[in-house]
Amino acid sequence: MLAFRAYSWFLSRRLGLTLLTLWGLASLVFLMIKLMPGDEAQMAAGADASAAQIEAVRERLGLDAPVIMQYLGFLGRLLRGDLGTSIVTLQPVLADLEKVLPSTLELVVIAMLLNLAVAIPAGIVAAYRQGGVFDTTSRITAVMLGGMPAFWLALVLQYVLGSVWRVVPISGQQGYGMNSPVVTGAPTLDALIAGNFAGFFDTLHHIVLPAAVLAALFATQIFRTLRAALLGVLRSDFIMAVRAKGATARHMLVRHALPNSLNPVLTLSGAQAGAMIGSAVLVETVFARQGIGAYMFNAVAQKDAFAVLGSVMFIGTVVCLVNLIVDILQLLVDPRIRAAQLGSQGQ
Amino acid sequence: MTAPAIAQPATARRKEGFSTFEIFVFTLVIALLTIAVFGPFLAPDSIYNSDIANSLMPPSATNWFGTDDQGRDVFWRLIVGAQTTLLSAFLVVTLYSLIGVTLATVAAAGPRWLDEGLMRITDIGLALPGMIVALGFAAAMGASLRSAIIAMAITGWPITARMLRGIMRQTMEQPFVAGAQVLGVSKWRLMTKHVLPNSLDVLIVKWAGDIGTTVLVLASLSFIGVGAQPPSAEWGATIAAARGYVSTAWWTVVAPGAAVAITSIAFGLLGDIIQVRRDPSLRGN
Amino acid sequence: MRIVHPMPDESTATPVRAPLVTVDRLTVDMPLGRSGSSVRIVDGVDFTIGVGERVALVGESGSGKSLTARALMRLDRLAKLSGRVDFDGIDLLKLSDRDMGKLRGSSIAMVFQDPMSFLDPLMTIGDQVAETLRIRGIGKAEARKRALAVLDELGVDRAAERLDAYPHEFSGGMRQRVVLAMALVGEPRLLIADEPTTALDVRVQDQVLDLLDDVSTRRGLAVLFITHDLGVVAGFAERVMVMYSGRIVEDGDVASVFAKPNHPYTQGLIKAVPRIDQDLNTLYAIPGAPPPPLARPSGCPFHPRCDQRFDRCGKDLPALLPVGLSRVACHLLDGKGA
């Protein structure tokens, strides 16, 4: 019972912070709207709108009311899921984004898997053989990759691997005639659902380079963080105790050193999941993929201000929710955090 | 209450010679700064005009990095762009450091509710994806280099504010501060004369790494289209403009991207070097 | 504290036992940063430990006693070891990492100073005790059963319910029992105890010592007990070795060393043990501090602190030579050997 109360206390506090952040985000987006030069109603209605249409929008958004009322009206509309209307697609921004979100999530999930699959083993080997050849080369690689602009890396690899060596498709999400009926909106899943295995491998073939580019940038951070954490843990006493039991290096690393180093990695990868969604804006367009990043990019190009700001609101919200989920996961994984978080409030 | 980690006084730092690697990084940074300051004075006027007859020429003895779609020399445009890029990055880091220092000082010296309020705002800032919010601000203010700089300045401060506020609180708990307070020194005087100078050390360590990151973010915003606009020689904008020619004239894309990468890596490494020199226990990590 | 255990053989002062461990000119070098140079912490140590024998290794911190102990198990990854460590006829220093790993935990086990920092905070007690067996391919249920048996034997209350508890949920004394259980579950023949009582309060110290005494007697377990506290040695060990600046300076059975210490350093250490009838103001301490390993004095490393030094002490390094039933490394005793 005590534990239950402590859990709910932690959860409500964490949820409160998330709500506060979302409110802060909404206020920032409202500020952005107010910062826009020119007539807001005109911007919302589009450049070609008639005077009557503009007035109708002005009426609907309550733009003649005092700013504080406009602000409250804006928050109210957000709560109802109204992120504004795109002047290009003429659809509600939320509807547009919902349509392409699965495609972005697919990219981010695969990028995250690649990221962890490369960075964690590399971090372990580098830390265990500190100062060795692998450690040195992987640290240099990490520094180099960490300094490269994502979109540039995407362009260069697209050119080299797509155009020159032709090992991956240059762009798009699937080859001609490979598409499956849309169910989830994520091409890989749709192909699986349709039982279209050729299509499934085709979508994977299309996603591997964009995901790898996205992963590369974030893998450098995971690598550095895990390596530093492991170096600390490997110096600690209990690792010696584990070795004294006769554990092999592999057992010691995987069962003891790694779990004790995973905390900062988990925190970071949670933050990364959010940042990756943000960075999708840099990668999706280069590879002509659908997604919220590409949507935002096009909105910027077409000066579709409300679509841009709606995307900011949407991406920010997704990031906050991902961070919330990661924090809760962390609580479940680490008994020390559990003890610290719950214990301090449990009495 | 955990004991504050007190920074080593400057005199205790061990003076060591510079390694080859460190000298290499210093040289690189100094070279980049020199290019940024003097580059525009050296560049030939021809790079400001198009010369369609010579467009997309591959690298040669006359055009080291080739020419772009307008027939302008890629190498000299990079040299000119260095000033725009680095100056913008300096401006951004300076602006958000000022915001960060101000907020941290107010939070550390002010009443508890103000501290609490400011730190919650900082939490919000830390929880949001900085580049996306900056993108929103820049787009809202009208896409331009100026907008991008302002947008990055108003979204970049939370980490600085959080760090400094923590360090200031630690400084304020040290005996000499309490002593000065007993002697009747006013709180604001204490803050500006003692606490703030102690914190600047941290800013200096952070500065180089911040420049490296900012160069990357600025290039990204320009690439998306909310930063510097063509025909600016800013590197991100240059890549954006050359995007379509990657398969016909790879040098137009590779060169400016490499410039961004080298600058970002050089300043990042400089930041690491300063940090390790300040705290030798970090060596090898 | 009074520990009662039968003396194995009352007729001789030092019972003759088959040797279990024979250490011969063991040196331990630790690297200094990444410069490539290293420092010799343990400088040529030889001793034996008999089957079932309890030996104390005493010295101030920095004397190299802990590194000597860890060298027997090759626990320091960075340390460079040379010499011979024979365990049951096998030279441990020549074994592959893999074979050494097989001996750790099953033939030689170790308990450590601070039980909290030597337990993995993220693994349950039951899993940590059973781990020694699990590593050797023993099934989960069987390993758990044997872990529980050892925890019960060592007097961990409600052991069955607490197998799934984490280290932070245990008290200091209980944690030390858990650490001891971790070491004993593999049924080793030699237990190395590295200051196992130092981090505990006095009452718990006595409990743990009694326990260790009890278990080693019952299991016929040889124990190498590392400590800086001679007071603990008297009740527990049969033999004591005194280490100073990386070398053994005196080695003898507890009774004779306490009755008549030969080396001036041992004499100082015994004088420094506080007694209950002693005025606190007269507490003795050996003047000075042990030399850092990088700046050992010439000759006998103890001579700058020695109140009986003479010319030769600053010049020649004294060898560890037999004196009566003991071995002593001191020029004062040269020629008095048996």
- Beta strand pairing call for C239-244 and C54-58: parallel
Q: Are residues C208 and C174 in the same domain?
A: no
The secondary structure element, H or E, covering residue C19 is strand C19-31
pLDDT at B226: 92
CB of C207 within 8 A of CB of C173? yes
pTM given for the model: 0.84
Counting residues of chain A whose pLDDT is more than 70, the rounded percentage is 95
B236 touches chain A (CB under 8 A): yes
User: Nearest CB to C101: which of A237, A248, A339?
Assistant: A248
Mean residue pLDDT across chain A: 87
| C112–A247 CB contact, under 8 Å | no
CATH of the domain at C303: 3.40.50.300
Q: Residue C12 falls within a domain, yes or no?
A: no
What pLDDT score does C71 carry? Answer: 92
The predicted pLDDT at position A1 comes to 45
Take residue A93 and report the two structure tokens written for it. 């921004």
Q: Return the percentage of chain A with pLDDT > 90, whole number.
A: 49
Q: Residue A104: which pLDDT band, with cuts at 50, 70 and 90?
A: very high
Neighbours of chain C (3+ CB pairs under 8 A): A
Radius of gyration of chain B (CA): 22
Asked if A316 and B133 come within 8 Å (Cβ–Cβ), the reply is: yes
The whole-number average pLDDT for the span C26-49 is 87
B104, B182 in Cβ contact below 8 A? Answer: no
Residue C170 forms part of a structural domain: yes
Q: How many domains does chain C have?
A: 2
Q: How far is A56 from chain B (nearest CA, A)?
A: 22
- Structure confidence at residue C1 (pLDDT): 43
Listed by number, the residues of chain B in 99-138 with a beta carbon closer than 8 Å to a beta carbon of chain A are 120-121, 123-125, 127-129, 131-133, 135-137
Could you tell me the pLDDT band of residue B7, with boundaries at 50, 70 and 90?
A: very low
What domains lie within chain A, and their CATH numbers?
98-165+207-346 (1.10.3720.10)
Same domain (yes/no): C218, C304: yes
Together in a domain, C83 and C173: no
Question: Closest by alpha carbon to B156, among B228, B240, B91?
Answer: B91
Tell me how far the alpha carbon of residue C119 is from its chain's centroid. Answer: 19
Q: What gap in Å lies between CA C65 and CA C85, rounded to an integer?
A: 15
* Greater model confidence, C12 or A187: A187
Are C220 and C172 members of one domain?
no
Asked whether residue C233 is assigned to any structural domain, the reply reads: yes
- The per-residue pLDDT for A333 is 67
Residue C324 lies in a domain: yes
| Candidate from B7-11, C40-44, C233-237 with smallest mean pLDDT | B7-11
- A contacts of B250 (beta carbons < 8 Å): 156, 159
- C47 and C37 in one domain? yes
B86: pLDDT confidence band, cut at 50, 70 and 90?
very high
Helices (H) and strands (E) in chain A, counts: 15, 0
pLDDT tens, position by position, A295-335: 999 999 988 888 999 999 999 998 888 888 877 877 776 66
Average confidence score pLDDT of chain B: 85
Structural domain contains residue C148: yes
Q: Rounded distance, CA C270 to CA C65, Å?
A: 18
Residue linked to tokens 């947008």: B151
Return the residue of B nearest to A28 by Cα.
Answer: B133
Write the residue in B226, B257, B284 that is nearest to A300 by C-beta: B226
* Interval C197-202 mean pLDDT: 74
- The whole-number pLDDT of residue A338 equals 61
Q: Which residue, C187, C214, C244, sits at the end of a domain?
A: C187
Q: Is residue C212 part of a domain?
A: yes
- Contact between B246 and A17 using a beta-carbon 8 Å cutoff: no
In a domain, C115, yes or no: no
Is B58 strand, coil or helix? coil
Do the Cβ atoms of B216 and A149 come within 8 Å? yes
In a shared domain, residues C229 and C203: yes
Residue B143 gets which letter from DSSP? S
Indicate whether C128 and C198 sit together in one domain. no
Of the candidates C158, C156, C157, C160, the one whose C-alpha atom is nearest the C-alpha of residue C144 is: C160
C2, pLDDT greater than 60: no
Q: Is C104 on the interface with A (CB under 8 A)?
A: yes
**Which two structure tokens, joined as six digits, stand for C18?**
């088959």
A102 within 8 A of A206, measured Cβ to Cβ:
no
Q: Are residues C102 and C209 in the same domain?
A: yes
Reduced to 3 states, what is the DSSP secondary structure of residue C199?
coil
Residue C33 structural domain: 1-7+19-107+188-338
- pLDDT tens, residue by residue, C13-31: 455 678 999 999 999 999 8
The minimal CB distance from B265 to the residues A20, A144, A156 is found for A144
pLDDT the model gives residue A54: 87
Whether residue A21 lies within 8 A of chain B, CB to CB, comes out as yes
| Structural contact between residues B82 and B32, judged by C-beta atoms closer than 8 angstroms | yes
Q: Length of chain C, please?
A: 338
- Alpha-carbon gap, residue B84 to B231, rounded angstroms: 12
Q: Which of C158, C187, C216 is the last residue of a domain?
A: C187
Q: Are A261 and A226 in contact (CB under 8 A)?
A: yes
The two tokens of residue C321 are 């030579």
- Give the neighbor-by-neighbor strand order of the sheet with C90-91: C38-50, C19-31, C80-87, C90-91
- φ and ψ of C178, to 5 deg: -65, -45
Q: Both C176 and C274 in a single domain?
A: no
Tokens describing residue A84 = 């504004």
Give the Cα separation of B138 and C155 in Å (integer). Answer: 68
Is residue C226 assigned to a domain? yes
At B16 the pLDDT is: 61
Q: What is the distance between the alpha carbons of residues A55 and A61, in angstroms, rounded to a whole number? A: 10
Of C148, C168, C187, the position where a domain reaches its end is C187
- Residues C199 and C132 occupy one common structural domain: no
pLDDT at residue B4 is higher than 70: no
For residues C105-113, average pLDDT: 89
Average pLDDT over residues C221-246: 89
pLDDT score of A341: 52
Q: Nearest 5°: phi and psi at C327?
A: -125, 135
How far does C274 lie from chain A, in Å, by closest CA? 31
pLDDT at C209: 86
Say whether the ipTM exceeds 0.90. no
CB B221 within 8 A of CB B135: yes
Same domain, C174 and C233: no
| Residue of A215, A185, A256 whose CA lies nearest to A109 | A215
Domain co-membership, C170 together with C277: no
Which residue on chain C is closest to A340 by alpha carbon? Answer: C168
Amino acid letter, residue B246: V
